[in-house]
Amino acid sequence: MRIALMTILLAACTTAVALMIVFRGEAAQPGVLLYGLPPDTESEVKEVVANIDRIEADALKSASSRSLDPHQQVIALGKLLLFDKQLSVNRNESCTFCHMPETGFTGPISSLNATTVAYPGSVRTRFSQRKPQTHTYATFAPILHYNVLQGDLVGGNFWDMRATGTRLGNPAAEQAQAPPLNAVEMGFPDPACVVYRLSQSPYRWLFEKVWGLEAFVIQWPTDVERVCAKPAPAPSDDPLPVHLSPGDRGNSNRTYDEMGQAIAQYEASPEVSPFSSKYDYVQGGKVKFTPQEQRGYNLFRSNRSHCNECHRDGGPGEEPLFTDFTASNLGLPKNPDIPFYRESVPDEYGYAANPRGLEFIDEGVGGYLLLRQPGQQLSGRPNPNTEWASLATKFNGKF
């Protein structure tokens, strides 16, 4: 009996050690998924990336072969940007890697949705702390503002509202500027790297047609390739490692703004935000709900469920967008299966995304207002309204 138990214990220890060796071995190779992910993940990732490449190639062909009016041009440009994996440090991750059309523009990888929830970045061993949101209808969010009558913050993009829209007048355009610079997402150390990659892209002509020939008139330093192949974050003593003259930096920043604006235009277009659900057809008087659907809708609107108090289905002067653009604390506990909670030790590039490990608590909007979100200093902009910092406690845990 005792010997049998010992044998089991020994076998268990050997397996544990073997597993540790396997995972450590994997950590040393860039591009390999970590943390004992389901075996399907690698093949699903390959399939998704192949689909992305196919959609990008088709979009390029269609943009080159048709004559587009100016509005169609900016939308076509936005699509090419959204599906372009060159806009990530390791040239392996487009925006749509985490936002594919077939899953309503949220994460397309079933084995990850069932386990990690969060998605790996261009450095495949890094995961962020949150689930990708769908960006369908995200462009309808107003600029983040404090509504005095509601006593609430309203608008912005991201779970924590931090893409405020206060600078470009468009939350979605500012949102699109964050993932390329997020160390756990597309991972560039400098926004100028994105502009440099765009200057080499096969659709540069379309970018110039939409925004003007000056978009890429920039004197690039000779080491730009090398600097931009190194994943974020930039060294703390050299926060903008692509060294540009002030004029070129200004031009690069403007081109980066224009990239965000084109992406937002595509997200707002019917291809991404089509208003073609059964609900929309019922509103348009084209079809009817089944009796069961009607009962569900009645319940959704009733005082028994309270769903439509937050997921607003319209009212006087209000479109039914199934959100009120505020944030709420739904009382959900942390999900320790999100790999971010284990990213406490420096990776192969010396970066630890979450030094606090399992201690980390995502404070949502409250964390943003106090600039306490991990990585926020790298990829986001500080809360634009200093008065809002005093609201932070009230917004802790709201998403």
CB of 69 to ligand HEC, least distance (A): 23
CB atoms within 10 A of CB 54: 11
Which residue type is seen at 112?
A: L
Distance separating alpha carbons of residues 116 and 113, to the nearest angstrom: 6
Q: Is the CB of 140 or the CB of 243 nearer to ligand HEC?
A: 140
Distance separating alpha carbons of residues 399 and 385, to the nearest angstrom: 19
Contact 241, 190 (CB under 8 A): yes
Reduced to 3 states, what is the DSSP secondary structure of residue 398?
Answer: strand
Q: Does 119 bind ligand HEC (CB under 6 A)?
A: yes
Q: Does 165 bind ligand HEC (CB under 6 A)?
A: no
Q: Is the CB of 85 or the CB of 209 nearer to ligand HEC?
A: 85
Calculate Rg over the CA atoms of the chain.
23
CB of 224 to ligand HEC, least distance (A): 20
Q: Contact with ligand HEC (CB under 6 A): which of 254, 311, 381, 394?
A: 311
**Bridge partners of residue 120, in order along the sequence:** 127
Residue-wise DSSP of 74-118: HHHHHHHHHT-GGGSTTS---GGGSSBGGGTTB---HHHHTTT-S
Q: Does 279 bind ligand HEC (CB under 6 A)?
A: no
Per-residue contact flags (x/-) with ligand HEC for residues 62 to 81, judged by CB under 6 A: --------------------
Contact 240, 188 (CB under 8 A): no
Q: Contact with ligand HEC (CB under 6 A): which of 134, 277, 294, 393?
A: 134
Contact 128, 36 (CB under 8 A): no
Q: Does 371 bind ligand HEC (CB under 6 A)?
A: no
Q: Does 309 bind ligand HEC (CB under 6 A)?
A: yes
Q: Does 49 bind ligand HEC (CB under 6 A)?
A: no
Distance separating alpha carbons of residues 113 and 102, to the nearest angstrom: 14
Binding range to ligand HEC, per CB under 6 A, among 23-31, 94-102, 200-208, 218-226: 94-102
Give the CB-nearest residue to ligand HEC: 95
CB of 23 to ligand HEC, least distance (A): 21
Residue whose C-alpha is closest to residue 320's, from 312, 330, 328: 312
- Within residues 319-358, the interface with ligand HEC by CB under 6 A covers 327-328, 330, 332
Q: What are phi and psi of 303, to 5 degrees?
A: -75, -10
Q: Does 307 bind ligand HEC (CB under 6 A)?
A: yes
Q: Is the CB of 15 or the CB of 294 nearer to ligand HEC?
A: 294
Residues that bind ligand HEC (CB under 6 A): 82, 93, 95, 97-99, 119, 121, 128, 130-135, 138, 157-160, 172, 175-176, 179-180, 185-186, 263, 305-307, 309-311, 327-328, 330, 332, 399
